[in-house]
């Protein structure tokens, strides 16, 4: 059970990395997903082995983020203040909101779990900053927009 949870958490982190890479490098989804699934999952680094990710969840998040990007970006935009449109948000956070949004849109995972998992991803990318708190606020707003019944 714990290994499955770790694999799902790793898949979320890898999905954010993949979405960031696609945007930053202008790389295709197929190329980036292939790179992650074939080389990055379980990769051996000097610091140690990368955690194996859940390939099914990884693929669902990346593909869901791309298929629903307009809807997810609209949800994210409604959660942001007018002075901070989505285009001004750090690209890593933008990728995080898109990956989390993909999971929230499908409604397969309870919204509070999605928020918690992606706040941990934000902490992994920004261990010293307030980005995790910011991500929590934006994701909660998005989740309430999509699933108000989960917050009653």
Model confidence pLDDT, tens digit, residues 97-138: 999 999 999 878 999 999 999 999 999 999 998 999 999 999
Residue 98: name the closest of 63, 144, 149 by CA.
63
Residue 22: name the closest of 79, 80, 52, 63 by CA.
63
Topology, domain 2-151: N-utilizing Substance Protein B Homolog; Chain A (1.10.940)
Q: What does pTM read for this prediction? A: 0.89
Close Cβ partners of 95 (under 8 Å, ≥ 6 residues apart): 16, 17, 19, 20, 23
Looking at the predicted structure, is the pLDDT value of residue 42 above 60?
yes
């Amino acid at each position: 059970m714990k290994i499955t949870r770790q694999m799902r958490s790793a898949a979320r982190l890898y999905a954010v990395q993949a979405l960031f890479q696609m945007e930053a490098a202008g790389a295709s989804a197929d190329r980036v997903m292939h790179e992650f699934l074939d080389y990055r999952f379980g990769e051996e680094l000097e610091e140690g082995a990368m955690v194996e990710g859940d390939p099914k969840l990884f693929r669902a998040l990346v593909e869901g983020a791309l298929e629903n990007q307009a809807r997810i970006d609209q949800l994210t935009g409604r959660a942001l203040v007018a002075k901070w449109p989505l285009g001004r948000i750090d690209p890593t956070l933008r990728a995080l909101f898109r990956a989390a949004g993909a999971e929230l849109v499908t409604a397969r995972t309870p919204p509070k779990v999605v928020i918690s998992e992606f706040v941990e991803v934000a902490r992994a990318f920004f261990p010293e900053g307030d980005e995790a708190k910011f991500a929590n606020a934006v994701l909660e707003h998005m989740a309430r927009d999509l699933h108000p019944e989960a917050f009653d």
